[in-house]
Amino acid sequence: MSNLQKFKEGMFLLPKEGDMKVDGLVVGTEELFRGMEIEKPLQQVQNVAKLQGIVGYSIAMPDIHWGYGFPIGGVAAMNMDDGVISPGGVGYDINCGVRLAVVSMPFKELGEKQKEDLIKAIFKHVPSGVGKERKGKKGLDDSDYKKMLIKGAKWSVENGYGLEKDLEHTESHGVIEGASFDAVSHHALDRGRKQVGTVGSGNHFVEIGEVQKILSDEMAEEWNVNKGDIYILIHSGSRGFGHQTCQDTLDKFMKQGYDKGLPDKQLVAAPINSEAGKLYFEAMAAAANYAFNNRQQILHSVRESFREVLGLSAGEVRQIYDVCHNIAKFETHEVDGKKQKLCVHRKGATRSFGPGHPELAAIFKKTGQPVLVPGDMGRASYLLAGLGNPLTWSSCCHGAGRARSRHQSKKSWKGKDPFEHMQSQGVIVKANSYRTIVEEMPDAYKNVDEVVEAVDKAGLAKIVARLKPHLVIKG
């Protein structure tokens, strides 16, 4: 940390040394850095800076913490000529992401029984927990599976799991082009066959709460988000499908010798234009499209729950946006004054295109894309608007980031009642596993207020609204 140099407001440089091809760029504040274990993640920032074809900076967001190869909260862009694509720069949970919907009804109008019935209905309709599948549903046959992986979330909408306008409110309209069914192993396909529409475990969740504060009246008005509204936040990814796809690729890359000469074997990466690199992208895109369908179908189940308990139609549960935060995408950015196609890795980081960006749907051209930053299940989450900062390749943080390990959190809550504590904070929690709850308690995470303040200072995104959780379903 002593190597960090103040660069701009909310940004620090980690100057290149040794084999680093670019400087490190760390978004954050001195106050945040003092409260986190930062040395190992900073070493990973340096390691990423040594990868072939990296341009700009090796970037870390303020929610940075140690990860597999890349730090979680890491961003790196590679040129298309001699750059590499790295599974560790995407992560095991390919296209883990967040989806936000709102209901134009004050949360405070919900009675205690309605809250209880709502969380019970969602818990029933949305399977959660390690390895959980859709009960009583036949798994996808290969024909539908292939269509789903190629079409992305559009497949779910066409099959009755959502509204056409949901796609306009989804990053990349819910599809990563270039996916291939044949690039995915049979094992990965089998693991995912019955898991579409399920939350999973760990830090994944469905959260219902109240739009507590509006911090940009203009943006909130454009998106029709009002103080006091009910919100729904969904955090999940590609489940066993994505995990297996990542592991399969890591094994292949290692066998093919792509780990040679790297400072950390976990950074193993193949040239983007090699056969191995192309196959990984095709499989990763398939897993990303699986994840878009997963969140689409979870939202459908949540809408069904709102219909059962409150009599609301699907259209009254309005999707605001869906963002990826474990992905590698081909995007055009300016490098040394020229437009250039790059492979942008975002691992635990969110795209944050600004106003006018050509890839955004018409509704977000004026405002920039919504950016979703979940915090923890006790304090808050945030809705922001992207500003398209070129220094970070139009990227922003993806959450609060862990402040302590799962083991440390579990140990600190030994002998205490986490459910009682959460209830005292006005939050009802349901979960399949007690262990998940103690690993995911609010004090296991950094203060999301401070993290969001850092990205606001650095000019990555503009704060629109603070969201307060009240009903939370964990794995």
393 burial via Cβ count (<10 Å: 0-12, 13-18, 19+): buried
Ordered alpha helix ranges (H), 196-266: 217-223, 239-255
**pLDDT tens-digit profile, the chain (475 residues):** 568 999 999 999 999 999 999 999 999 999 898 877 899 999 999 999 999 999 999 999 999 999 999 999 999 999 999 999 999 999 999 999 999 999 999 999 999 999 999 999 999 999 886 666 666 566 799 999 999 999 999 999 999 999 999 999 999 999 999 999 999 999 999 999 999 999 998 889 999 999 999 999 999 999 999 999 999 999 999 999 999 999 999 999 999 999 999 999 999 999 999 999 999 999 999 999 999 999 999 999 999 999 999 999 999 999 999 999 999 999 999 999 999 999 999 999 999 999 999 999 999 999 999 999 999 999 999 999 999 999 999 999 999 888 888 888 889 898 899 989 999 989 999 988 888 899 999 888 989 999 999 999 999 999 999 999 999 998 7
Distance CA 247, CA 69 (A): 13
Q: Looking at domain 5-474, does it have CATH number 3.40.50.20?
A: no
Distance CA 365, CA 26 (A): 28
The set of long-range contacts for 362-368, using a CB threshold of 8 Å and a minimum separation of 24, is 362/168, 363/168, 363/169, 366/222, 367/219, 367/222, 367/223, 368/461, 368/462
Q: Could you tell me the two tokens for 169?
A: 């409110």
Q: Are strands 461-474 and 428-431 parallel, antiparallel or unpaired?
A: parallel
pTM listed for this prediction: 0.96
Distance CA 183, CA 376 (A): 36
Domain ranges in the chain are 5-474
Tell me the per-residue pLDDT of 15-52, one tens digit each, with 9 for 90 and over: 999 999 999 999 999 989 887 789 999 999 999 999 99
Q: How far is CA 374 from the centre of its chain?
A: 9
Active-site residues, by number, are 398
